[in-house]
């Protein structure tokens, strides 16, 4: 181990892993009752730098989500808080059972550890293996039906990074003077957001897809301090400039 903490979801039991999964480490620290200075400090540093930008640009399991993102349906707002429930449940389960329960269900661990170890002759097709395959299969089906399904609703690492989304240096900003409220940006968002109204949402993974889709240049990814957590550009309300095209108009 290199003692480097990975800013995403990956399995540290992977035969090729050289970094630590924050969720796996968190569970072990709860089990052993260790004060997590290094973990908390590192996660705060990651969060302040990019928030969920690591979800959009770095995490390999997020990349798998992207590969299967065929249906960019609108996000279910209440269900998106499910990832915080999973995060709290992961901590409580580690404390209550003195075991890394989340790791035994994690779909990333299924791909990065269970399957490789099976082919290496180390793992067997037993009950824990079949549970892993079941959670992986369910997650893959969810990803096919709903773009970034795991990232939207279930990932505890996404929940941790989401806590910093509105204060992180990397952030999405809206130029209200340029926005015509055409809604084109919402059609490409893998998280099912409407970027022109939800650009500072905790679900935004800062992937930049909406910035490329906006032909009016109203959305930007910036690396700078967020002032009060809100974009300050422009005072005019969206869509009130007669010189800008309405929804469906050409740029
Ligand atoms: S939500 Fe989880 S799986 Fe998705 S990109 Fe972020 S850390 Fe990775
Ligand atoms: S003008 Fe750009 S930011 Fe505004 S709604 Fe259209 S695509 Fe989105
Ligand atoms: S709002 Fe834009 S940057 Fe955020 S997830 Fe959606 S497309 Fe990506």
Residues 219-230 pLDDT 10s: 999 999 887 545
Q: Are residues 112 and 212 in the same domain?
A: no
CA dihedral 221, 224, 228, 234 (to 10 degrees): -60
Ligand 1 centroid to residue 157 C-alpha, Å:
6
Asked if residues 18 and 4 have their Cβ atoms less than 8 Å apart, the reply is yes
Judge if 153 and 177 occupy the same domain: no
> Best substitution site from 66, 75, 168, 195 to test ligand 3's pocket, by max atoms within 8 Å of Cβ?
195
Cβ < 6 Å from ligand 3: which residues?
Answer: 172, 188-191, 193, 195, 204-210
Same-domain status, 57 and 135:
yes
Residue 147 and residue 187 in one domain: no
234 within domain boundaries: yes
Instruction: For residue 230, give the CATH number of its domain.
Output: 3.30.70.20
Whether residues 197 and 158 share a domain: the answer is no
Q: Is residue 80 part of a domain?
A: yes
Per-residue pLDDT tens for 154-169? 999 999 999 999 999 9
Answer whether 171's CB lies under 8 Å from 200's CB: yes
Closest ligand to residue 199's CA: 3
- Say yes or no: 120 and 184 in one domain: no
CB hemisphere CA count around 87 (13 angstroms): 18
142 with 225, same domain: the answer is: no
Q: How far apart are CA 241 and CA 243, in angstroms?
A: 5
Q: Is the CB of 189 under 6 A from ligand 2?
A: no
Beta bridge partners of 5: 20
Is residue 54 located within the same domain as residue 133? yes
- Interval 102-143: pLDDT, tens: 999 999 999 999 999 999 988 889 999 999 999 999 999 999
- Among 107, 134, 162, identify where a domain stops: 162
Look at residue 48 and tell me if it is in a domain.
yes
Convert the pLDDT of each residue in 177-193 to its tens digit.
999 999 999 999 999 99
Number of domains in the chain: 2
Q: What is the per-residue pLDDT for 177?
A: 95
Using alpha carbons, select from 216, 23, 31, 203 the residue that is nearest to residue 104.
23
Look at ligand 3, atom 8, and give the residue with the nearest C-alpha: 207
Same domain, 132 and 186: no
Q: What is the pTM of this model?
A: 0.89
Owning domain of residue 39:
22-162
CB 88 within 8 A of CB 114: no
Last residue of a domain, one of 162, 183, 201: 162
Taking CA atoms only, the protein residue closest to ligand 2 atom 2 is 214
SS3 (DSSP) at 41: helix
Q: Does a structural domain hold residue 231?
A: yes
What are the tens digits of pLDDT across the range 6-63? 999 988 888 888 899 999 999 999 999 988 999 999 999 999 999 999 999 999 999 9
* One domain, residues 119 and 218: no
Residue whose CA lies nearest to ligand 1 atom number 6: 55
Higher per-residue pLDDT: 250 or 143: 143
Helices (H), 51-126: 53-57, 60-67, 82-97, 107-109, 115-119
Same domain, 32 and 152: yes
Specify the higher pLDDT residue, 240 or 152. Answer: 152
Name the 3-class secondary structure at 5. strand
In a domain, 192, yes or no: yes
């Amino acid at each position: 181990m290199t003692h480097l903490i990975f800013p995403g979801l990956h399995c540290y039991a992977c035969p090729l892993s050289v970094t630590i999964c924050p969720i796996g480490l968190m569970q072990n620290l709860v089990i052993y009752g260790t004060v997590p200075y290094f973990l908390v400090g590192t996660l705060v540093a990651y969060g302040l730098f990019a928030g969920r930008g690591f979800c959009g640009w770095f995490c390999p399991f997020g990349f798998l989500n992207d590969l299967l993102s065929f249906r960019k349906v609108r996000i279910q707002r209440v269900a998106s808080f499910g990832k915080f429930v999973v995060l709290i449940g992961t901590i409580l389960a580690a404390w209550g059972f003195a075991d890394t329960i989340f790791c035994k269900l994690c779909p990333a661990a299924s791909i990065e550890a269970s399957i490789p170890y099976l082919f290496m002759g180390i793992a067997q097709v037993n009950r824990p293996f079949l549970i892993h395959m079941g959670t992986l299969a369910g997650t893959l089906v969810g990803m096919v039906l709903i773009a970034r399904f795991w990232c939207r609703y279930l990932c505890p690492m996404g929940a941790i990074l989401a806590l910093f989304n509105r204060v992180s240096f990397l952030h999405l900003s809206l130029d209200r003077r340029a926005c015509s409220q055409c809604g084109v940006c919402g059609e490409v968002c893998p998280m099912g957001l409407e970027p022109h109204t939800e650009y500072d949402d905790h679900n935004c993974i800062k992937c930049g897809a909406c910035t490329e889709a906006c032909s009016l240049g109203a959305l930007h990814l910036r690396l700078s301090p967020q002032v009060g957590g809100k974009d300050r550009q422009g005072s005019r309300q969206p869509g009130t400039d007669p010189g800008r095209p309405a929804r469906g108009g050409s740029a």
